[in-house]
Structure 1
Amino acid sequence: MIDLGEYGARFTKDPYPVYAALRERGPVHWVRTPPPGAYEGWLVVGYEEARAALADPRLSKDSTKRGLSSFEDELMGRYVLISDPPEHTRLRSLVAGAFTMRRVEALRPRVQQITDELLDAMLPKGRADLVDSFAYPLPMTVICELLGVPDIDREAFRAMSNEIVAPSGGDTELAAIEQLAAYLDELIEDKRCAEPADDLLGALIRTRAEDGDRLSRAELRGMAFILLVAGHETTVNLITTAVHTLLTHPDQLAALRADMTLLDGAVEEVLRFEGPVETATYRYAAEPMEIGGRSIAVGDTVMIGLDAADRDAAYCPDPHRFDIHRAPQGHLAFGHGIHYCLGAPLARLEARVALRSLLERCPDLALDGPPGDWLSGMLMRGLRSLPVRW
């Protein structure tokens, strides 16, 4: 067994040398994840093995099939990331229509407006923490408006959400889950009693009241949870790491400023090079199987390293070089298979609008000191703060 916690803070800051060393020994390893919440299971670090595992129906997302039920599952209810077909198919179909390319593209003017308003407020100051002033409020505002969530205490919500996706240890994660579950219950009840609204959460509540497909109260809570948290966390990290990566690779930043037609490719390269989801949520072997020459027993936990796989030289030549001119088709930043990220089109739209607007309005954008800490744990990959000036 390989104890990743033994690498200490340097693994959190830069896990890629560790992943590369593991990959030289094989594509799959039995590991213990770093604390807090250390967990043992198989870690897939090879690209071909990761891509195949993501689409393998023998790997279940439903821990209850192993007789396990987490505190989070009990409080939040069922949602797409912890379910298998046919339950997963049913739940996903209820929200998939809101995230089609056409629906997302219709949001572009509003995303641009929110972006411009945030920059209008930020730019006169000359310096800011990009996360607080821009990268967090942009996707948070977009997903709240899409779902129909009224203005909330965003600092309090950010603290809860961060604690859930990047736990700091102790009882704080459980407290955050309890607080968020209580908030969502109140929100759903308020929505149910109000006049029908033209938003996604209202549509899900009305669907529950119709004959045919019904969402239980717990399912409504679970769907609201995953849409609200996943709908902003990944994009916050994508925008932040995109700016950080460009500022620390000045030649690539200069190339992008000189030719903004490279923007779409630049976003894709950021997704490959420093994807916002480091490791996919746990899967469990539903039957004996083999991955990368390793025998996986029934019930074994399988963790698929998305960021690790995207730095595999077998998939991407010279993988540790950031190059916006390459076209990294097939990266796994948004997953693969039936659990491919529903919000990928929206995340891409927000990142493209944010980067273009920020770079066009801040021609002398620069780092203003060292960035904050990287998020703890192996789920999310992102910076807690990014001081910039212009």
Structure 2
Amino acid sequence: MTEVIDLGAFGDAFRRDPHLVYARLRERGPVHRVRPPGSDETYATWLVVGYEEARAALTDPRLVKDGERIGATFLDEQVIGKHLLITDPPQHTRLRALVARAFTVRRVEELRPRVQQITDDLLDAMLPRGHADLVESFAYPLPLTVICELLGVPEIDRAAFREMSTEVVAPTGADHGQDAFVRLGAYLTELIEDKRCAEPGGDLLSDLIRTTAEDGDRLSAEELRGMAFLLLIAGHETTVNLVTNAVHALLTHPDQLAALRADPALVDGVVEETLRWEGPVENATYRFAVEPLEIADVAIEKGDPVLIGLASADRDELRYEEPDHYDVRRDPRGHLAFGHGIHFCLGAPLARLEARTALRSLLDRAPGLALDGPPGEWLPGMLMRGMRSLPVRW
């Protein structure tokens, strides 16, 4: 019988630094049966920790995202509806094609001046104080404002939306997470209906309501809610962590910060190396074996859940030399922080734009930036990798 490794047994150490545990797992092999922290003692999932195995698993059609194909349904599907992270081709292909018509690279590029303006406004408010929590004052409001403006979420609703979305991705308790799903689903239903009844707006959600494919296909009300949910959650929660993790990495690696200050063109390297070294998504959302298969000679049964370890894969010694070393001059191409294959992150260009703009502007205007105490606790769970607060001064 396959050993089940209880990750909860590592306690808070696993939340603070899961990389040590992942490295020990990789030494034993690229695939393991694990019990995630906080899960039922009877529950277990496969965890893929090796780079090559993870990259291959991300494109393996035998590992599906739609739980209904193995007879399972989940809260987000019941309350929110189908979205890109819980569908497979051909449904996924159809949904992605419809949203891609509105969420284009050109549209992201057009956001550049507005992203810079929001960044400047936040720094104008923060810098006179001399110290702040970077998450609360900068890293969180920047992508939240961008994605809410992009999708047309009224400013008056954004504080409540932030509270709901944070509970969804990093719940402080099982009941809290479920309640947040329900409230967020109800809010999005109302928001979509308001936009249907209003004069056509220029925001992305209004575009999605009106978007029609060449064959006349359109998103249903449920699909619109699912798409809005995914774009709102994935469109800011991940970028918050990317910006925060990048600043934390630079401030704890003064040689790398000095290199960036000496050559601001290295900002792209900072973003990509942060994505590899401490990316905002620790593990991809669940996949399920739709038939028996093997990964690295490990037998996985039909119906088994599978987690693909993005953070572990990107620190695999077989893929990157000295993977635990943070090096902004490294060539980290091929990292899996945004996934791989058909589920590659649709918002990657926007996340990169926001992170580059935030880092360049922050470091330019706060030359004495430094840590002002230890960071807050790392987010719970195995999905997001980020900290709740980061005290800084300048």
TM range (shorter): over 0.9
- Alpha-carbon contact 1:100-1:345 (below 8 Å) kept: no
> 1:294 aligns to what?
298
Specify which of 212, 229, 234 is matched with residue 230 of structure 1.
234
Equivalenced residues, count = 390
Indicate the RMSD between aligned Cα atoms, in angstroms.
1.5
TM-score normalised by length of structure 2: 0.96
> 1:178 aligns to what?
182
> 1:95 aligns to what?
99
- 1:68 paired to 2:72: yes
> 2:31 aligns to what?
28
> 2:373 aligns to what?
369
Specify which of 376, 387, 390 is matched with residue 386 of structure 1.
390
Which one is further off, 205-214 or 248-257? 205-214
- Alpha-carbon contact 2:282-2:382 (below 8 Å) kept: yes
Letter in 2 for 1:203: D
CA distance 1:360–1:212, shift in 2 (3 Å): same
Q: Percent sequence identity over matched residues?
A: 70
Which whole-Å CA distance do the structure 2 matches of 1:193 and 1:97 have between them? 22
Query: CA shift at 1:36, angstroms?
Result: 5.4
- 1:3 paired to 2:6: yes
TM-score normalised by length of structure 1: 0.97
Specify which of 235, 253, 275 is matched with residue 249 of structure 1.
253
- Alpha-carbon contact 1:135-1:236 (below 8 Å) kept: yes
- 1:77 paired to 2:58: no
- Alpha-carbon contact 1:47-1:309 (below 8 Å) kept: yes
Q: For residue 284 of structure 1, give the secondary structure of its aligned residue in structure 2.
A: strand
Letter in 2 for 1:359: L
Query: CA shift at 1:298, angstroms?
Result: 0.8
Query: CA shift at 1:101, angstroms?
Result: 3.2
Which whole-Å CA distance do the structure 1 matches of 2:159 and 2:13 have between them? 28
Which one is further off, 211-220 or 303-312? 211-220
Q: For residue 195 of structure 1, give the secondary structure of its aligned residue in structure 2.
A: coil
Gaps of 5+ in 2: none
Which whole-Å CA distance do the structure 2 matches of 1:226 and 1:37 have between them? 27
CA distance 1:36–1:385, shift in 2 (3 Å): farther
Q: For residue 213 of structure 1, give the secondary structure of its aligned residue in structure 2.
A: coil
Q: Which runs of 4+ in 1 moved over 4 A?
A: 36-39, 208-211
Which whole-Å CA distance do the structure 1 matches of 2:160 and 2:202 have between them? 26
- Alpha-carbon contact 2:98-2:213 (below 8 Å) kept: no
CA distance 1:209–1:43, shift in 2 (3 Å): closer
- Alpha-carbon contact 1:368-1:388 (below 8 Å) kept: yes
For residues 300-331 of structure 1, the C-alpha deviation after alignment (integer angstroms, 9 at most, x for no partner) is: 11100000000001110000000001110000
Which whole-Å CA distance do the structure 1 matches of 2:12 and 2:156 have between them? 34
Q: For residue 171 of structure 1, give the secondary structure of its aligned residue in structure 2.
A: helix
Which whole-Å CA distance do the structure 1 matches of 2:44 and 2:163 have between them? 27
Letter in 1 for 2:7: L
CA distance 1:201–1:37, shift in 2 (3 Å): farther
